A and B are shown apart, each in its own frame.
Chain A
Amino acid sequence: MPGVDRGFPRPLDIVVTGLGAVTPFGWGVNALWDGARRGITAVGPFTRFDASRHRTHVAGQVPAGDDGKESSRRLSVADRFAVASAREAVASACLDLDSCRERTGVFFGSSAGGMLEGEWFFEAHIHRGTRHARRGLVASQQFNGPGDAVARAMGVSGQVETISSACASAAMAVGSALRALRRGDVDVALAGGSDALCQLTYGGFNALRSIDEAPSRPFRKDRMGLSLGEGAGVLVLETAAHAMARGAQPIAMLAGEASTCDAHHMTAPHPDGSGASSAIRLALLDAGVAPDDVDFVNAHGTGTPLNDAAEAAALKTVFGDRARSIPVTSTKALIGHLLGSAGAVEAVLTVLGLLLREVHPMPDTGALDPELGLDLVLGTPRALSRAACAISTSLAFGGANSVLVFTRQETA
């Protein structure tokens, strides 16, 4: 990552010291940031499975990559994304895990785990009988597969917790890591999420008519639904005391988080966005910052008519008239909705936005929706005159909302 002046946190703060990502833009954080800056969607035809009989035919697929020894092991696709991201994050944090294995936890989100491999098992079962269906395929199907795979690969023995709260899974996992660090349960957390494309989610969202036949256009007037994607993101989080003791340079601070629930409907957000606005307010309160301190928003921004309208309403509720002038972007417009790992990859980009003082754009396609009244970052990156605080929102199936607040001390 480019060298940029970094702020100086207090010992009790929770800091971000490393980032890792595997996304449809490629393997690694640099590929993600470069792709995001270009503002051209990675969503398109894909080959992860045969989608010819599905209603739609585009998704954000991770390109083939060399993740070394991981690929030869019995890991699911989602596990491989997770482990590669974790290795990159730990390396970028210059973290020697030998010094803190028992005080390092893994907090991970996944919505589908290794469902892709579970489907391979089913296909074998259907076409060739149970005895020909390899049981190992199902072993990797578990929701906790990616998080456990990270802990196993990195050899850490602190708390490991997988959260499977649909599209808010990874954001909640990062939030859970923040709490565990504040309580002193762990000194270091590998927090993130991973999911791979699979027919269950692709077919399921299509059954709900939630997938756009074209790459998604969040917050645009002609938005028709989401695009699905796959990948993983991991943040190395530490207590500032731990980071300072080992001479690590914080990239940013994870200042606050909050979760709420709409308690309204399984698949539709509350139309007034009250659950989401409540989560944003509580997260800002947790971070000790005011709405006026927020410099940009990495929105959930799925591209479904209902989600984007509810989210815009939530932003207006919290930010008032400022909602029209805070830069808002949606990562999902570029790589698709990564479901259980979306919040992690979007957190990575939120941190990078603060670090590099720039908000990544969305593709500039489609008409603006004047009813939403948001300042969307379109086409080209938006340079920030102030980059001290940003939020990332994740709003899930079942009405679960999770918001993360990142801050970075402005240097003179």
Chain B
Amino acid sequence: MKRPAAVLTGLGVVGAHGIGRASLQAALLAGRPIASEVDRSAGYHAADSSRLAGLVPKLDLARWLPPAEARRLSVPSRFAVAAARMALEDAGIASLDGRRVAVVLATAFGALLFTEKLVRQILEEGPESAQPFYFSECVANAAAARVAIALGARGANVTITEREAGPLLALARGAQEVREGRADLAIAGSADEMTELLHALLDRFRGTARAEGGREEAPRPFDAARNGVLAGEGAAVVVIEREDDAAARGARFLARVAVSGAAFDATAPVSDWGDGHTTLARALRAALARAGHGAETIDLIVSCASGARRGDRLEAATLAAAWGEARLPPVVTPKAVVGEYGGGLLAAAVLAAEGVPFGRPLAFETRDPSLSIAPHDGRPLAAPSRVLITALAAGGAAAWAVLERP
């Protein structure tokens, strides 16, 4: 029996660009990395470390999250609850019967600030100093639980933690919840925070971009001089419904979830990307084929390329192998603007599926001759019919999704 289609009907996003889809859209069109100076006062950073991150500015989230409610929440929980309420409003849903509402959120690192505070309390001051509030908010599923409590969502409540692949795995799981009839509506997405400690650790793994060779510090996906990511934070949440249900209530469709697939690159070390592009390309082609699509039906790729040296190489090689002799469609790289983590890729992909234009990534200078791919140069494109989103995680996990115009 053919499963019903799952459609996205709402998007909520909080990021370095600000609150909501309009600010993200403007940022993607401008093509400039949204970066600000990281606090390095705690002494975690090396003297020559990267200095920038895609930090969420001090935003007034009160419309989405009253201060009294925010007070009890960790940063990722705040982002997630605000984005979830925003997504519901975007979907035109004023009141929600939560009995059959699923929540599926991804997080790469969870509520790290509270985790750090709790560990420090235990190790420095002694376990008797540990505050229960920090503990209950530092579990990885705190954000998903807070969203469920805020919305009264009593369907499945799942937190997926596969680093950079997590948001697409969450999107897939959310779509499955409604397609398989386990929920009537799913709230899916991801939430993360970028702390001083995490930024310093990513830097120690040489994961973050640095100023080098006269170039300013910036993420440069697919650039020959790329040397790391812009570490970001925020949340992106989509509302997923069965297409018939959404049509029946007269909802606006943002996109249909046409394909989801996942794989693993067993050649990857714990915190970097491997070289298993052949295997990943087979898995990507198989995922497209299972849905009855060939690579030739894709007319835009929203790539996970982030400026990571090995990550972008793996991404380029995987896409090249998946397309073979065929010509790749235009490839856009939203992480050049919004950075890594916080759901920016997922939100940008939804906008891309709606036909929102992407500007030239301003930090991109020189095509890497060893890669058969370069980011789209910003020229206007026809609104795509099918958008492939890619997500390759450090450590080996991989996920893909295709969003299509309903």
User: A157-B283, A164-B159, A261-B148 in contact; A199/B119 too (CB < 8 A)?
Assistant: yes
Given A139-B271, A199-B127: A157 and B120 interface contact (C-beta under 8 Å): no
- State whether A159 touches B262 (Cβ < 8 A): yes
A209 to B123, CA, bound (A): 19
User: Which has the most chain B C-beta neighbours within 10 Å: A139, A204, A258?
Assistant: A204
Q: How far is the CA of A264 from the CA of B140 in the complex (A)?
A: 18
CB distance from B116 to the nearest CB of A (A): 8
Chain B residues within an 8 Å CB radius of A397? 136, 139, 141, 145
Residues of B within 8 Å of A264, CB to CB, are 149
Q: Pick out which of these stretches binds chain A: B54-62, B198-206, B220-228.
A: B198-206
With both beta carbons as reference points, the residue of chain A lying nearest to B140 in the complex is identified as: A164
Shortest Cβ gap from B188 to chain A (Å): 14
B149 contacts A265, C-beta separation under 8 Å: yes
Return B267 CB to nearest CB of chain A, in Å.
Answer: 8
CB-contact partner of B158 in A113, A165, A202, A204, under 8 A? A165
Contact in complex: A144, B397 (CB < 8 Å): yes
A contact residues around B138 at 8 Å (CB): 200, 204
Task: Tell me the B146-172 residues at the A interface (CB within 8 Å).
Answer: 146, 148-149, 151-163, 169
Please state if B176 and A179 are interface contacts (CB–CB under 8 Å).
yes
Contacts of A165 in B (CB 8 A): 140-141, 144, 157-159
Structural contact, B103 and A164, CB atoms closer than 8 A: no
Complex interface: chain A residues within 8 A of B132 (CB):
204, 207-208, 267
Q: By the criterion CB–CB under 8 Å, are A204 and B159 in contact?
A: no
Question: Which residues from chain A contact B162 at a C-beta distance below 8 Å?
Answer: 144, 148, 160-162
**Closest 5 interchain pairs by CB?**
A398-B145, A204-B135, A164-B140, A261-B157, A143-B161
Please give me the residue from chain B that is nearest to A270 by CB atom.
B154
Interchain CB contact (< 8 A) of B157 among A144, A204, A259: A259
Q: Give the number of chain A interface residues (Cβ < 8 Å).
A: 77
Q: Which residues of A contact B122 (CB under 8 A)?
A: 199-200, 203
List 23 interface pairs A-B (beta carbons < 8 Å), by A numbering.
A122-B123, A131-B46, A135-B205, A139-B205, A140-B270, A142-B270, A148-B264, A154-B266, A162-B160, A162-B162, A163-B159, A184-B290, A200-B115, A200-B122, A204-B130, A258-B156, A263-B152, A265-B149, A266-B136, A396-B141, A398-B139, A399-B149, A400-B158
| Chain A contacts for B263, CB-based, 8 A | 102, 157-160
Contact indicator per residue, chain B 204-237, by CB within 8 Å of chain A (1) or not (0): 1100000000000000000000000000000000
Contact B163–A144 (Cβ < 8 Å): yes
Instruction: Write the B386-406 contact mask toward A (1 if CB under 8 angstroms, else 0).
Output: 000000010111010000000
Q: Which residues of A contact B270 (CB under 8 A)?
A: 74, 139-140, 142, 145, 148-149
Partner of B264, one of A151, A199, A275, A278: A151
Given A139-B271, A199-B122, the answer on whether A163 and B158 have CB atoms closer than 8 Å is yes
Question: Does A237 have its Cβ within 8 Å of any Cβ on chain B?
Answer: no
The interface residues of chain B lying within 8 Å CB-to-CB of A305 are none
Report chain A residues within 8 Å CB of B173.
176
Does B265 lie at the interface of the complex (its beta carbon under 8 Å from any beta carbon of A)?
yes
Chain A residues packing against B (C-beta within 8 Å): 53-55, 74, 102, 105-106, 110-111, 113, 118-119, 122-123, 125-126, 129-131, 135, 138-140, 142-145, 148-149, 151-152, 154-166, 172, 176, 179, 183-185, 199-200, 202-208, 258-267, 275, 278, 282, 396-400
B85 to chain A, nearest CB (A): 15
Contact size range, B: 35 or more
Q: Are B123 and A123 in contact (CB under 8 A)?
A: yes
Cβ–Cβ contact A130 & B271, under 8 A? no
Q: A126-B123, A160-B264, A165-B157 are in contact. Are A208 and B136 (CB under 8 A)?
A: yes
Q: State the total of A-B contacts with C-beta under 8 angstroms.
A: 236
A148 to B182, CA, bound (A): 28
Given A118-B119, A164-B159, A207-B130, A398–B148 Cβ distance below 8 Å? Answer: yes
Contact A260 B127 (CB under 8 A): no
Query: When the two chains form their complex, are residues B395 and A263 in contact, meaning their CB atoms are under 8 A apart?
Result: no
Indicate whether B48 reaches chain A with its CB closer than 8 angstroms: no
* Interface residue from A74, A106, A184, A200 paired with B118 (Cβ < 8 Å): A200
Q: Is B98 an interface residue (CB 8 A)?
A: yes
The reply to whether B139 and A111 form a contact with Cβ atoms under 8 Å apart is yes
Least CB distance from A150 to B in Å reads 10
Q: How far is the CA of A10 from the CA of B123 in the complex (A)?
A: 54
The yes or no answer to B243 lying at the interface (CB within 8 A) is: no
Which residues from chain B contact A145 at a C-beta distance below 8 Å?
270
Residues on B with C-beta less than 8 A from A263 are: 98, 148-149, 151-154, 157
Whether, in the assembled complex, B131 has its beta carbon less than 8 Å from a beta carbon of chain A, the answer is yes
Decide: B157 and A399 in contact? CB cutoff 8 A.
Answer: yes
Give which listed residue, B135, B137, B145, B176, contacts A261 with CB less than 8 A: B145
Interface status of B253 (Cβ within 8 A of chain A):
no
Instruction: Provide the bound-state CA to CA distance between A179 and B255, in Å.
Output: 24
Q: Are A203 and B395 in contact (CB under 8 A)?
A: no
Asked if B377 is at the interface of the complex by the 8 Å CB criterion, the answer is no
CB distance from B288 to the nearest CB of A (A): 14
B153 contacts A156, CB within 8 Å? no
Cβ of B136 and Cβ of A267 under 8 Å apart? yes
Q: Of all chain A residues, which has the CB nearest B145?
A: A398
Across-interface contacts of A143 in B (CB, < 8 A): 110, 140, 161
Assembled-state Cα–Cα distance A192/B151 (Å): 30
Chain A residue numbers with a CB within 8 Å of B46 are: 131
Most chain B CB neighbours (cut-off 10 Å) among A105, A185, A398: A398
Task: Compute how far the CA of A41 lies from the CA of B137 in the bound complex, rounded to whole angstroms.
Answer: 31
What's the minimum C-beta distance from B167 to chain A, rounded to whole angstroms?
A: 13
* Neighbouring A residues of B290 by C-beta, 8 Å: 184
Closest beta carbon of chain B to A344's beta carbon, Å? 16
Q: Does B142 contact A (CB under 8 A)?
A: yes
Contact with A along B100-137 (1 / 0, CB 8 A): 00010001111000011011111110111011101111
Partner of A151, one of B158, B160, B201, B396: B396
Which B363-401 residues have a C-beta within 8 angstroms of A? 393, 395-397, 399
Contacts of A184 in B (CB 8 A): 290
Q: B180 on the interface (CB 8 Å rule)?
A: yes
Are A159 and B264 closer than 8 Å at their CB atoms? yes
> Which residue of A has the minimal Cβ distance to B260?
A185
Q: How far, in angstroms, from A19 to B122 measured CA to CA in the complex?
A: 36
Could you tell me the distance between the alpha carbons of A265 and B270 in the complex, rounded to whole angstroms?
Answer: 35
B140 touches A111 (CB 8 A): yes
For the complex, is B268 an interface residue (Cβ under 8 Å from A)? Answer: yes
Q: A156-B264, A165-B159, A199-B122 are in contact. List 19 more A-B contacts (CB 8 A).
A: A122-B119, A126-B120, A152-B268, A157-B266, A158-B264, A159-B264, A160-B262, A163-B161, A176-B173, A204-B134, A258-B156, A259-B156, A260-B157, A263-B152, A264-B149, A398-B139, A398-B146, A399-B145, A399-B157
